[in-house]
A and B are shown apart, each in its own frame.
Chain A
Amino acid sequence: MFLINCPYCGERDQQEFKAGGEAHIERPKQPTELSDDEWAEYLFMRKNIKGVQFERWNHAHGCRKWFNMVRDTSNDEIKAIYKMGEKPPTQ
């Protein structure tokens, strides 16, 4: 997966990027009303999919902007890249 197409800078070497983990985990809207189980779910539990996964990446040694990526973790193939706030592609 050595080239990543930053939506702001274009294709750059993977070394310039930092992985930011699973995407679309929403911060709880009512934190004070969350149970311990729900906190554990939000903070720690991860899908960790073998296959197509949605994740966040940061162009840490470039524009420093965050974006989303759809990637197959079984072969590291990048399926799609989209900006933060944009709707994730459906397949």
Chain B
Amino acid sequence: MRNKYSVFSLIKNALSYHENWQRAWKDPSPKKEYDAVIVGGGGHGLATAYYLAKKHNMNNIAVVEKGWIGGGNTGRNTTIIRSNYLWDASAGLYDHALKIWEGLSQELNYNVMFSQRGVMNLAHNLQDVRDLKRRTHANRLNGIDAVYLSTEEVKKFCPIINTSPDIRYPVLGGTLQRRAGTARHDAVAWGYARGADAMGVDIIQNCEVKGIKRNGDSVEGIETTKGFIKTKKVGVVAAGHSSVIANMAGLRLPLESKPLQALVSEPVKPIIDTVVMSNAVHAYVSQSDKGELVIGAGTDDYVSYTQKGSHQIVEGTLNAILELYPIFSRMRMLRQWGGIVDICPDASPILSKTSIKGLYFNCGWGTGGFKATPGSGDLFAHTIANDEPHKLNAAFNLNRFVSGDLVDEHGAAAVAH
């Protein structure tokens, strides 16, 4: 039985010097057979397992992770959550996730530190202004909160932004989604892992998938570094390594995996109480609860699995940050890292069945998957359990690259792609 976290459990454990906390999840060896196996123990994969157990009563399932849970892109992103996407399909998908975020800490009995501090997107030229106004209208038609701000209103909402008309890319306005914000990325993985484990899901770490066994057009199981696991349903949520798994099954995907970089500064006192993104100059920044500035840079243009990225990408982002926030000119950066993001030609994700029965893919989230974690898990669990997509992820099928019905969010969503 799982002990509930509460103020009483905190006091009780404080009295015993925090030496008797229960394990948050077990460390099982894989069974011979499962009803379904999720490949990839990041936020999306763990959320998928959690909702399969919770909403679809599939408890004889496992999550296999080649490293440790939350050690990939879940622990590498810049934790931004928003749903102000242009197209109806995307708006439906991301706002579904945002609605789950709003009650997630209570549902999981795990503080994911969800903070609705607002996300502001800046406009730096006339086309930006037109695009952002159009997006604001589209958002409101879809019931998503969005307002357009003038330069003065931008300055009022975030006073440290340099709104001088003399800078290279002056701030001409911006949009604000107040329900948007940030969450603690590790806590999301840990909370879902704890929740899934409590319902009987086996979370198997250090277990890399080496092959997918097929019988004709159906899945029979997976070869792993911990032996063969028999299963009729495999849900692959492997982010940057999706193509690697797809190649094992003889499946082709429209993905390219590229390094995306981020960095954090030394911790300072509270200075920026919102998230500011700027598409045109490619810089976004927020402040963590520890006080570090969390800065997101761009992707490199070549395929790489190295989790590094090029220096000029970081340099370009920091140039933009310095012009927009002169107050940061003497901040020192503490850490820089890269994650491998799988990017679709239309910059929208794939949550889909495939031509192989029992093989499902949840991939292509590219540079912006973290915000969708709960919604992605919920909808992917629905797709796996029913062998049919939910209406909110029906548009994000793999067949759209054949039919031409793309969800072209590239640049249209004020995303820094």
Contact = CB atoms under 8 A, between A and B. Distances in A.
A, B bound: yes
Interface stretch (B83-91, B125-133, B304-312): B304-312
B249 interface: no
B255 A73 contact: no
Given A18-B301, A76-B306, A46 B402 contact: no
Nearest to B406: A44
A46 B256 contact: yes
Residue of A48, A49, A74, A76 with most partner-chain B CB within 10 A: A48
Interface string B250-282: 001111110000000000000000000000000
A75 B306 contact: yes
Interface string B297-317: 000111111101010100000
B210 interface: no
A9 to B, nearest CB: 19
Interface stretch (A24-32, A34-42, A79-87): A34-42
Given A18-B301, A40-B401, A40-B402, A46 B254 contact: yes
Contacts of A46: 243, 252-256
B304 A47 contact: no
B304 A73 contact: yes
B69 to A, nearest CB: 21
B252 A41 contact: yes
Interface in A2-44: 14-15, 18-19, 21-22, 36-37, 39-41, 43-44
A44 B333 CA distance: 38
Contacts, number: 67
Contacts of A22: 303
Contacts of A44: 254, 345, 401
B402 A36 contact: yes
B241 interface: yes
Contacts of B402: 36-37, 39-40
B401 A48 contact: no
Contact of B302 (A19, A41, A43, A74): A19
Given A15-B312, A48-B253, A48-B256, A73 B303 contact: yes
A19 B343 CA distance: 15
Interface in A34-76: 36-37, 39-41, 43-50, 53, 55, 71, 73-76
Nearest to B340: A50
Given A48-B243, A76-B308, A55 B303 contact: yes
B317 to A, nearest CB: 15
B244 interface: yes
Interface in B232-255: 241, 243-244, 247, 252-255
Contact of B305 (A39, A43, A74): A74
Interface string B302-336: 11111010101000000000000000000000000
